[in-house]
Chain A
Amino acid sequence: MKITVTDPSLVLMIAPSGAGKSTFARAHFRPTEVLSSDAMRGWVSDDETNQEASADAFSVLNSIADKRLARGRLTVIDATNVQPESRKGLIALARKHHVHVSAIVLDVDVETCVERNKSRPDRSFGARVVRGQHERMRQSLRRLEDEGVRSVWRLEGVEAIAQAEVSRERLRCDLRHLAGPFDVIGDVHGCADELIELVESLGYEVDGTGLDAAVARHPEGRTLVFVGDLVDRGPRVADTLALVINSVERGSALCVQGNHEAKLRKKLAGRDVHVGHGLARTLEELEASSAAFRERVAKFIDGLASHYVLADGKLVVAHAGIRQEMQGRSSRAVRDFTLYGETRGETDEFGLPVRFDWAANYRGRALVAYGHTPVERAEFRNETICVDTGCVYGGSLTALRWPEREVRSIAARREYVPAHRPIAKSAPQPGEEPSLDASFRLDLTALIGGITAETEVLRRITVGAPLVASALEHSSRFCVDPRWLVYIPPTMSPVETSSVEGFLERPEQALDYYRKVGAAQVVLEEKHMGSRAIALVCRDEAAMQRRFGLANGHAGVIYTRNGRAFFRSRETEANLVTRARAAAERAGLFDALGTEWLLLDCELLPWSEKAKELLRAQYAPTGRAGITHLAAALSALDEALARGVDVRALRERTAARSSMLLDYVAAYRRYCWTVSGPEDLRLAPFHLLASEGAAHVERAHSWHLAQCDALCDADASLFSKTGRLTVELADAAQRDAAVQWWLDRTEAGAEGCVVKPETFIARGEKGPIQPALKVRGREYLRIIYGPEYTAPENLSRLRSRGTSAKRTLAMKEFALGVEGLRRLCRNEALARVHACVLATLALESEPTDPRL
């Protein structure tokens, strides 16, 4: 017998002990797919035959089955399964996860089973037990379908069992192997004119006319995907149906079922359905066509899937949308959801009455394109997009181009029927107005056990629970509102240690690094010595409220690298944000980028503004103590020398130390100035991280600096320009010039510079490379490594430092930062952005050498 099981599904082996279940399962399934009750007994009690351990064993078995089915893994239950009660829980589990159940019954002569059990030393139970099991198996056979088992495979006799073959088949909805590109078309409702115009505008050709029309294969291999509701209401229902049916047969289109097709199918089957005006039009047209065509339509609708999972699971198309856990599954619940959306009377995972806005709660990774409820404009929301733009109501017919994520629309030629309720501005949000919009909700349970984020720069990044725990405390108690906290800047590694006398860091190591990884060009950017600041600047309060879900009176926020509000005083923040906005307006940035907000990565100067306490409690006292002490020591030594005591060596050392202390004080003073009001503060922006719909992470640094320069030119009293030098790495003269550039600047008191590859995200020959390396000046490092670090005996010991852990950390945080920005700009749910932010904060709480 050839057995076919769908993948994923739940397979129950049903047979008495000794029938050969384990042997059969081993022969036809992977070891990890088979959950054996005997093995579970062994795991919980060290004895596979220990019947007393059955309850614990089945509890473990159930929970593993639960997790496997949740992940969509084929699961085989190797247990006798001869009693309805033992099957009931497993079948319920399959229903919960929307997978089919099939049963493989090994119907072996009872005496064979008894004999086999006798010959096995580990089986202690007698023939009576086996006979009982056999009897119950026979009784079970009749009931299985009623219990919810979809297919029953009965293998009679040892021979049949040995010859059986098992093959797997995909569900109809599983088209993950189709890579696209796709054009997803919204609800057509008989608007064939607009449909033909739209597909032609997308580069398809339509052959034939009327019921013979078909879309030819796209020259670039694109495929149309219809979200359903082809029929009813509109002017050319039969033509629309024919065009889609012909195209699907030709292989140029796919189609999922809509609720209007479902109803039409019922009517065609002669069932009693309420025929409203819309359906009446369809029926009228079908009456006028041939019986053969009606037959084709019925067959076509029968063959329509509830939804399609496409392109390796990255795109899902369903008529009324689909929850994440239903994707790639098949059940009555899945079909109902995809046809009608969230049904009434349900409760969500929190036991609350479900608000009908499933998209607001969507947290899946696949983009879901759907229709069903007309909206004015197709907009991305939490990785969902409704492409029903109400063509039949005089709106437009819309296509989503994927993977381009572009929306193409054709205006309706006229209003064919009046809308029975006003069309929503974007995705529907019926129900009460919650105090927190659902797409801004954050669930702790998804974070508390650790965070795993798929990032495009580094693939999967996992941050463990203990680190997340401390970040959670930090973010809950000290960070700005998570709706604004969309980005945490990554840590940056220094260059490898220089061996040049008197230096710990030099630019040569940075240039060498980027040459080695295969970069052609780098840019040296002056490193402003201030405090890192992320500035979110919105065009106005309404824009901030709309995009970030919360406004604050001055339409912008400035926070530190740890996510704390930069200023205690709202007035100071308001002042800077207001001036920054005015500058951005003058520079035309909002209009040029088509955005209502900008996210800027800056350094806020002076350092003393944020580091005031540090200066008062640590830096200045160290300087004062050192200078005073060494001056007193020098004068004592001079006196002693004058009277002929030989303290020359000590005096020399003391004098050298004294001058290092003076250098140290000069170093920290350079980064301090007295601030009496916000007008004394300065912002030095160097990245324009993101704006509406665009994370600027593919851009060159020259682009970022040009945008920042525009801001500086618009308001030179607030913004400071960043000095820069572009270096072709192959050119030795340019490399030397870069070193000189760094020396000149650091000798003049600059903190140092940051060496970056040409583009924000950069890849070398062996994968992603450091997005930046810092090269700090000799004098600046006194406030990091200590005032006297340049003494040769100190420097020689400080050279042994390792940067590799710091670099790994920098790379991970960078990848998370980029991923968070991408998610933000794709309009994904806040929870998806926040996961990246919290993961970065968690990585930052890991102890590292603070001097790096």
Chain B
Amino acid sequence: MLLLIDCTATDTSHPLDLSWLAHKHPDRAQDFTLSQGTARVFYPHCDAQRCTLALQVEVDPVALSRSSSHRGTTPLEPYVNDRPYVSSSMLSTAIAQVLGSALNGRCDKRPELVDRPLRLRAVLPVVPSRGGDSLVHKLFAPLGYTVRATRLSLDDRFTEWGDSPYFSLELSATITLRALLEHLYVLLPVLDDAQHYWVGEGEVDKLLRKGERWLADHPERALVAARFLKHQRALKDLALARLDEDGSPEPATEDDSEREVEQRWKRSEKSDRIPLDAQRREWVRDVLAAHGARRVVDLGCGEGKLVTYLAQHSQVAHITGVDVSPACLEIAQKRADKLGPSQRERVALIQGSLVYRDARLQGFDAATLIEVIEHVEPERLPWLEDAVFAVARAPLVLVSTPNREANAAMPGLSPGAMRHSDHRFEWDRATFRAWSDRVAKEHGYTVTFADVGESHPEYGPPTQSAIFTRGTAQRANANANEERAV
């Protein structure tokens, strides 16, 4: 990574003021050892008109791969990555170590220079920006810089791959060197959004010290705090509270909303007051109660919301949650462990897969598949049908799935899109009914249908569901229907 700082002569300043402030002799090259490699400071240009300081950091790629700081999104990411070459938090660390006195506003030999605005230009050849050039401008323009950000292409041989996430960046302003270094120190990691170091409360102090003179008034301060503190909400709130003494509530930052697309989506799913998933749980509870189901198995329990909900209703004597994902089950386990002991006793969680036959799923009064079938590849549904309706064969089976027609009434969902990235299909009402009817017929069940959530006059309910019954449950279902009719 490379940082070039130009200082141009003005009426009130000399280019060499830069070298005094930097504490580096303009005719010599100096080495510094950093934890991730070495830094070198030298001056490519120095005359009466202009002085250019270069800070070049050579990162040791082998040492880097052996530290645990990489993001590790792909197996080879620790070995093949952009970190040695881009301006990131590692450059901030280098600035603090190599240009520490300038950053902290100390200049023993020429103290008067510290607060003197110079005509400065910072050049950074490769700056990663998660948020594009608009974010670059949003961060630097309010601080008085003229910003030139040029997007780098990815590979000229394969233009169809699109652009790279990098910009070559030039920032020009008449400003103190200390302010420029503070801005870079804080904002380069914010643009990159992938700090290489552990972030704890100490970073709150660093942020506030380096931002003391400018951050409180920066329009993007919430985003700056969130990203600088690696999205740790508690730290961000602490930093903002300390920045802002009257403690007025912060608006949601751009970043928060990026991360909370799903939350927002959930909010938009709400009808009036009760979220749709809560309505589904209530529906399940009511149907189970109407059938007097005591032993229930929740197939595809995910993180265990329905399981723990049902465990809190004494009508259910036992509930087993089954999911294929060990990670989900771990979360479900934590959720279950928070229940009271007599409720906890009613819960069992096991790993299972609905595309395999499993004798452990037998002997329950009811099985629930709530928003599950749409996560199974259509070609593998026959396996699920076999496992649930031929092998497990609970007298009562509840199935719910999104109604695709209702997507048209969902805000923020582009046409043709599905509600979740893992959905393999979303069915309209006719398809779901046809599937349910066939399954019921093949396996000796009768099926009735129910709407969950507020039904749209044209598109129908957001969630469609089927109640499969056989044997005594069949009669109970008939009774329940009669009661409802009465």
Q: Which residues of A contact B (CB under 8 A)?
A: 349-352, 434-436, 441-445, 447-448, 469-470, 472-473, 475-477, 481-482, 550, 552, 608, 612, 614-626, 628-633, 635-640, 643-647, 650, 653-654, 665, 669, 672, 674, 783-789, 794, 797-798, 850-851
CA–CA, A620 and B42, complex, Å = 30
A residues near B73, Cβ cutoff 8 Å: 617
Tell me which of B86, B164, B324, B391 contacts A629 (CB under 8 A): B86
Which chain B positions have C-beta within 8 A of A644? Answer: 27
* B359→A350 contact, CB < 8 A: yes
The answer to whether the Cβ of B386 comes within 8 Å of any Cβ in the partner chain is: yes
Name 8 A/B residue pairs within 8 A (Cβ), A-sorted: A444-B358, A448-B352, A477-B422, A621-B165, A624-B126, A636-B52, A640-B54, A645-B28
Return the contact of B44 from the options A637, A669, A672 (Cβ within 8 A): A637
What per-residue 1/0 map shows which CB atoms of B246-276 lie under 8 Å from chain A? Answer: 0000000000000000000000000000000
CB within 8 Å for A624 and B45 given contacts A445-B359, A786-B61, A851-B79:
no
Chain B residues positioned under 8 Å from A352 (CB to CB) = 390-391, 393
User: Cβ of B76 and Cβ of A626 under 8 Å apart?
Assistant: no
User: How far, in Å, is B436 (CB) from chain A's closest CB?
Assistant: 15
* B86 and A647 contact, CB distance less than 8 A: no
Query: Roughly how many angstroms separate A351 CA and B152 CA in the complex, as a whole number?
Result: 66
Set of chain B residues within 8 Å of A435, measured between Cβ atoms = 382, 385-386, 390, 442
Is B351 engaged at the interface, CB distance under 8 Å to the other chain?
A: yes
Tell me the complex Cα distance, A786–B46, Å: 36
Q: State the Cβ distance, B162 to closest chain A Cβ, in Å.
A: 7
A608-B29 Cα distance, complex, nearest whole Å: 43
Given A350-B362, A629-B86, A850-B75, residue A624 in contact with residue B153 (CB < 8 A): yes
Interfacial residues of chain B within 154-174, with CB under 8 A of chain A in the complex: 154-155, 157-158, 160-162, 164-166, 168
B84 part of interface (Cβ distance < 8 Å): yes
A350-B391 in contact (CB<8A)? yes
B90 within 8 A of A: no
Q: Does B357 contact A (CB under 8 A)?
A: yes
Please state if A614 and B44 are interface contacts (CB–CB under 8 Å): no
Q: Which of B44, B46, B61, B355 contacts A788 (CB 8 A)?
A: B61
- Most chain B beta-carbon contacts within 10 A, residue among A436, A475, A620, A625: A625
- Contact residue among B4, B27, B166, B353 (Cβ-Cβ distance under 8 Å from A636): B4
- How far apart are A101's CB and chain B's nearest CB, in angstroms? 28
Contact B379–A629 (Cβ < 8 Å): no
B43 within 8 A of A: yes
Expressed in whole angstroms, the Cα–Cα distance for A445 and B353 within the complex equals 10
Q: Would A665 and B155 be within 8 Å (CB), given that A444-B353, A632-B125, A645-B27 are in contact?
A: yes
The answer to whether B161 and A643 have CB atoms under 8 Å apart is no
Residues B358 and A445 in contact, CB atoms below 8 Å apart:
yes
Contacts of B2 in A (CB 8 A): 629, 632-633, 636
- Residues in B neighbouring A482, C-beta threshold 8 A: 355, 383
With A620-B161, A788-B84 known, 6 other A-B pairs at CB within 8 A are: A435-B390, A441-B357, A473-B324, A482-B355, A625-B86, A628-B168
Contact B166 A640 (CB under 8 A): no
Q: What's the Cα separation between A639 and B42 when bound, in Å?
A: 10
Question: When the two chains form their complex, are residues A639 and B79 in contact, meaning their CB atoms are under 8 A apart?
Answer: no
Bound Cα distance A111, B246 (Å): 96
Residue numbers in B under 8 Å from A624 (CB-CB): 126, 152-155, 164, 166
Min C-beta distance of A93 to chain B, whole Å? 20
Measured between alpha carbons, how far is A725 from B222 in the docked complex, in Å? Answer: 64
Task: Enumerate chain B interface residues (CB-CB to A < 8 A).
Answer: 1-2, 4, 27-29, 40, 42-46, 52, 54, 56, 58, 61-62, 65, 73-77, 79-82, 84-86, 123, 125-126, 128, 152-155, 157-158, 160-162, 164-166, 168, 324-326, 351-360, 362, 375, 377, 379-380, 382-383, 385-386, 390-391, 393, 422, 442
| Smallest Cβ-Cβ distance to B438: which chain A residue | A435
Q: Which of these, B75, B126, B326, B380, contacts A628 with CB under 8 Å?
A: B126
Chain A residues with Cβ below 8 Å from B123 are 632
Q: Are B74 and A622 in contact (CB under 8 A)?
A: no
Alpha-carbon gap, A751 to B268, bound state (A) = 51
Q: Which residues of A contact B380 (CB under 8 A)?
A: 481
Chain B's nearest CB lies how many Å from the CB of A559? 13
Distance between Cα atoms of A631 and B85 in the complex (Å):
11
**Complex-state Cα separation, A787 to B79, whole angstroms:** 9
Task: Report yes or no: A473 in contact with B352, Cβ–Cβ below 8 A.
Answer: no
Closest CB in chain B relative to A781 CB, distance in Å: 10
In the assembled complex, which residues on chain A have CB atoms less than 8 Å from the CB atom of B84?
626, 788
A352→B357 CA distance, assembly (Å): 13
CB-defined contacts of B29 to chain A, threshold 8 Å: 640, 645-647, 650
A residues less than 8 Å from B324 (CB atoms)? 472-473, 476-477
Are the CB atoms of B359 and A616 closer together than 8 Å? no
Q: Known: A444-B356, A636-B2, A665-B155. Contact between A785 and B379, CB under 8 A?
A: no
A482 → chain B closest CB, angstroms: 8
CB-based contact A647/B42 at 8 Å: yes
A597 to B382, CA, bound (A): 24
Once the chains bind, are B357 and A444 in contact (CB under 8 Å)?
yes
Q: A350-B359, A445-B358, A851-B76 are in contact. Are A616 and B154 (CB under 8 A)?
A: yes
Residues of B within 8 A of A674 (CB): 158, 160
Q: A784: which B residues are within 8 A, CB to CB?
A: 76, 79-80
**Inter-subunit contact A618/B357 (CB<8 Å):** no
A620 touches B154 (CB 8 A): yes
For A617, A621, A646, A851, the residue with the greatest tally of chain B CB atoms inside 10 Å of its CB is A621
Q: Which listed residue (A349, A612, A672, A851) contacts B359, Cβ 8 A?
A: A349
With contacts A632-B125, A645-B43 taken as known, whether A442 is within 8 angstroms of B357 at the C-beta atoms is yes
Q: How far is the CB of A769 from chain B (nearest CB, A)?
A: 27
CA distance A828 to B359 in the complex (A): 22
* B26 nearest CB across to chain A (Å): 9
Nearest CB of chain B from residue A594's CB, rounded to whole Å: 29
Name the B residues within 8 Å of A616 (CB-CB). Answer: 154, 161-162
A628-B385 contact in complex given A636-B4, A797-B62, C-beta closer than 8 Å: no
- Measured between C-beta atoms, what is the minimum distance from A436 to chain B in Å? 5
Residues of chain A within 8 A (CB-CB) of B326 are 469-470, 473
Q: How far is the CB of B357 from chain A (nearest CB, A)?
A: 5
Looking at the assembled complex, report how far the CB atom of B279 sits from the nearest CB atom of chain A, in whole angstroms: 27
Docked complex Cα distance between A436 and B355 (Å): 12
Provide the bound-state CA to CA distance between A173 and B233, in Å.
73
With both beta carbons as reference points, the residue of chain B lying nearest to A782 in the complex is identified as B80
Alpha-carbon gap, A470 to B157, bound state (A): 39
- Taken together as a complex, chains A and B put the C-alpha atoms of A78 and B52 apart, in Å, by 94
Q: Is the CB of B65 within 8 A of A786?
A: yes
Residues of B within 8 A of A640 (CB): 29, 42-44, 54
Question: By the criterion CB–CB under 8 Å, are A621 and B154 in contact?
Answer: yes
CA distance A552 to B123 in the complex (A): 57
Is A626 a contact of B352 with CB atoms below 8 Å?
no
Inter-chain CA distance A273–B363, complex, in Å, is 43
A327 to B426, CA, bound (A): 49
Bound CA span A615–B80, Å: 11
A658 to chain B, nearest CB (A): 11
Q: Given A444-B356, A477-B324: A643 and B45 within 8 A (CB)?
A: yes
User: Which residue in A351, A620, A638, A850 is a CB contact (below 8 Å) of B155?
Assistant: A620
Q: B161: nearest residue on chain A (CB-CB)?
A: A616
Shortest beta-carbon distance, B167 to chain A, in Å? Answer: 10
Which residues of chain A are within 8 angstroms of B375 by Cβ–Cβ distance? 477
CB distance from B381 to the nearest CB of A (A): 10
Q: Are A636 and B56 in contact (CB under 8 A)?
A: yes
Q: What residues on A are CB-neighbors of B356 within 8 Å?
A: 442-444, 447, 476
Closest-by-CB residue of B relative to A612 is: B161
Closest 7 CB pairs of A and B: A850-B75, A639-B44, A632-B125, A444-B356, A625-B85, A629-B85, A476-B353
B residues near A635, Cβ cutoff 8 Å: 44
- Give B155's nearest chain A residue, CB to CB: A620
How distant is A169 from chain B, measured CB to nearest CB, in Å? 36
Are B79 and A672 in contact, CB atoms less than 8 angstroms apart? Answer: no
C-alpha gap A628/B165 in the complex (Å):
13
Query: A349, A444, A473, A612 — which one has the most chain B CB atoms within 10 A of its CB?
Result: A444
